[in-house]
């Protein structure tokens, strides 16, 4: 297997997708037909779906919280957390996962592009998102303790843009010119934008690009290096610090 060598003049941006979480047993929330309990997933993961039936949306996310709560970080998560400890501010992790396992593993230089399953925010007031690990009883729509507005999961839904501050943080890291850039994507389909385009920005910035995936991704051909395998097996042996 190839080895990625990182020296004192290298910065590393890692982007992770669902493949990393799958190895921790995070349940799949929809079937092979794309449905959840006969509902199109867009119906329970969109602003329009929430407006039409907030109780149904909360039942969906309460079920996801219940399924994700017992899961723990796997060796892939732990390897990525160790890289951050070694690199400090020369490291950034951008994840498409919402399960919070990277934080549990120890990552702090972390951008959660699609939000966090265990945080909640108000649809009416400017209350900051807050930790919320509750699975609400069926039929419940929790209300804000400050303004009485409806609460919603702090997730980026279908049809919603990613937080511009998150994209700016990733973009600034990619375009820094003080160190050599390495970009690594792990466990991702390469089909979800704008994250699927990070590899192109990295290459334009002169970066070396790596993909670690159980199967080839849609954008595999845009990476310099592709290692096929499970992230929990590959990542602990992939990086050598010099």
DSSP letters of the chain? ---EEE-TTEEEEEEE-HHHHHTTTPPPSS-TTSEETTEEHHHHSSHHHHHH-HHHHHHHHHHHHHHHTT----HHHHHHHHHHHHHGGGEEEEE---S-HHHHHT--SEEETTEEEEEEEESSS-PPPEE----PPTT---B-TTT-PBEEEEE--TT-PPPHHHHHHHHHHHH--SSEEEEEEES--S-STTGGGHHHHHHHTT-EEEEEESS--TTGGGSSEEEES-HHHHHHHHEEE-
Active-site residue, selected from the candidate residues 39, 51, 114, 224 = 114
39 is catalytic: no
What's the CA gap between 2 and 7, in Å, rounded?
16
Nearest C-alpha neighbor of 153 from the set 142, 169, 165? 142
Question: Positive or negative, the Cα torsion across 97, 102, 107, 108?
Answer: positive
- The residues that are catalytic are 114
């Amino acid at each position: 297997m190839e080895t990625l060598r990182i020296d004192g003049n290298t910065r590393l941006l890692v982007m992770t997708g669902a493949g990393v979480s799958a190895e921790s047993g995070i349940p799949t929330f929809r079937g092979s037909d794309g449905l959840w309990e006969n509902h199109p997933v867009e119906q329970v993961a969109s602003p329009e779906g929430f407006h039409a039936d907030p109780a149904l949306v909360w039942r969906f996310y309460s079920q996801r919280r219940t399924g994700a709560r017992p899961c723990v970080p796997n060796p892939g998560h732990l390897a990525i957390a160790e890289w951050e400890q070694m690199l400090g501010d020369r490291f950034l992790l951008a994840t498409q996962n919402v399960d919070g396992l990277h934080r549990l593993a120890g990552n702090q230089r972390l951008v959660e592009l699609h939000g966090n399953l265990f945080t909640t925010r108000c649809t009416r007031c400017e209350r900051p998102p807050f930790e919320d690990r509750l699975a609400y009883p069926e039929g419940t729509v929790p209300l804000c303790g400050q303004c009485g507005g409806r609460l919603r999961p702090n997730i980026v839904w279908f049809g919603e843009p990613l937080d511009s501050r998150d994209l700016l943080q990733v973009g600034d890291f990619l375009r820094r010119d003080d160190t050599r850039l390495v970009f690594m994507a792990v466990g991702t389909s390469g089909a979800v934008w704008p994250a699927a385009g990070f590899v192109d920005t990295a290459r334009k910035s002169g970066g070396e690009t790596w993909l670690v995936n159980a199967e080839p991704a849609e954008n595999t051909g845009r990476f310099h290096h592709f290692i096929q395998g499970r992230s929990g097996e590959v990542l602990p042996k992939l990086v050598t610090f010099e």
